[in-house]
Amino acid sequence: MSRGTFQIIRPSSAFWLTAGVAAALALLGFAGAHHMESTGHWVTGMNNRVVWGLPHVFAVFLIVAASGALNVASVASVFKKTLYQPLSRLSGLLAMSLLVGGLSVLVLDLGRPDRLIIAMTYYNFKSIFAWNIFLYTGFLGVVAVYLWMMFEPRMNRFIGSAGKVAFTWRLVLTIGTGSIFGVLVAREAFGSVVLIPMFIAMSLSFGTAVMLLAIILMFRMSNLSVKDEVVTRLRSLLAYFVIAVAFFVAVDHLTRLYAVGYTGVERFLLVEGGIYPVLFWAGQCLLGTVIPVIVLLTPRLAGRLPTVVASLLVLLGAFAQLYVLIVGGQAFPMDIFPGYTENSSYFDGVVAGYHPSLPELALGFGGIGLALLIALLATRVLPFLPQAPADQPGG
């Protein structure tokens, strides 16, 4: 990759309109965070039983998608698929911007963001959250070095080695994120090792969908063409990643249905849980899995518009999946005394209620807006996009 092969994005009305929308979303997110901090978390739908609400759904989505967005760069440098080489810089940029957006949502949802200093100076290494601080900050550093070696011609010979380190780090990062839920045995909907490979498949699915949307959007704004083969291959990969996620979801639920003591939580999430079964069957399974896979694997629907629709549906299903997993998993009452029914003034054994509030929704969309704004401004300042059409590998 030579410096002359790439260019900064050309400003246009579409670029400034998109940047304006992204900036407005980011400001809306900061306004929501300020309202939550100054007024108190009582203005949110979260309570002492559902402590991870809608902002955490957005944050986990952005963090998981950040890992998967680096997949294109990994395929180009680690697996030597030169067809994707012109998109490697954009892949690394999206990985960093999505992670920054996700971490911003997490930090601003703390209620006291300044308390993060304690988490960064006093570590409890028995907690997966302490390990994730190193994984997230380390990922940003590794990808930054990876991008530097792409930009600096004298360092291009080290791209393969840096790509292998980044590839390994992103797998560990996703394992760490999945372990937050996979090792949490207090909640019956969590505490399963199946969640760890499922999160890896989710990262590949979410990140590829975001990458497809970014390619179509940014190349359209800069009047660049991308070879149909690139889009076709990414469409196929996205379809198979979505199928892989569905496979692990099925394994997870079937395992719990087979195991003794988990029929209650499965009945709650799949049948009797109100909004959660609706989101699972209609949002995750139908809109987020079945329809996108049909669209992506149908040759007649290989155009740009069906690709955008399918990618958006995958992301819609991703939010539904994470909402059911994170919020639904907390809403189901904990089985504190297995084999007994407990009842007290603390609502033991009662399903927890949760209704997302506008500040939470604003904060979540603010993270998406911040990630998009960072990516757009970076492409305006540094040459992340290929100068020639992206159908020829940069050499």
| Each residue's pLDDT expressed in tens, for the chain with a length of 395 residues | 334 488 888 888 888 999 999 999 999 999 999 998 888 888 898 888 888 999 999 999 999 999 999 999 999 888 888 888 889 999 999 999 999 999 999 888 876 777 777 777 777 777 777 788 889 999 999 999 999 999 888 888 888 899 999 999 999 999 989 888 888 877 888 888 899 999 999 999 999 999 999 998 888 887 777 777 888 899 999 999 999 999 999 999 999 888 877 888 889 999 988 899 999 999 999 999 999 999 999 989 888 899 999 999 999 999 999 999 999 988 888 776 666 666 666 666 678 889 999 999 999 999 999 999 999 999 999 999 887 655 544 33
Asked whether 108 and 254 are in contact (CB, 8 A), the reply is no
Q: Which 3 state secondary structure label does DSSP give 61?
A: helix
Phi, psi angle pair for 358, to nearest 5°: -60, -40
Is 342 within a domain? no
pLDDT value at position 344? 67
pTM score of the predicted model: 0.91
Q: Is 371 exposed, middle or buried (0-12, 13-18, 19+ CB in 10 A)?
A: buried
Is 143 within a domain? yes
Asked whether 364 and 53 are in contact (CB, 8 A), the reply is no
Domain that holds residue 371: 9-335+349-384
Is 1 within a domain? no
CA distances from 184 to 167, 190, 330 (A): 26, 6, 11
Pairing of strands 6-7, 385-386: antiparallel
Q: What is the CATH number of the domain that holds 87?
A: 1.20.1630.10
pLDDT value at position 138? 92
Rounded CA gap, 147 and 60, in Å? 24
pLDDT value at position 1? 38
Is 299 within a domain? yes
In the chain, how many domains are there? 1
Asked whether 379 and 385 are in contact (CB, 8 A), the reply is yes
Is 3 within a domain? no
Show the tokens assigned to 189.
């909907």
- Of 284, 321, 346, nearest to 61 by C-alpha is 321
Is 45 within a domain? yes
* DSSP 8-state code for residue 173: H
Rounded CA gap, 241 and 297, in Å? 12
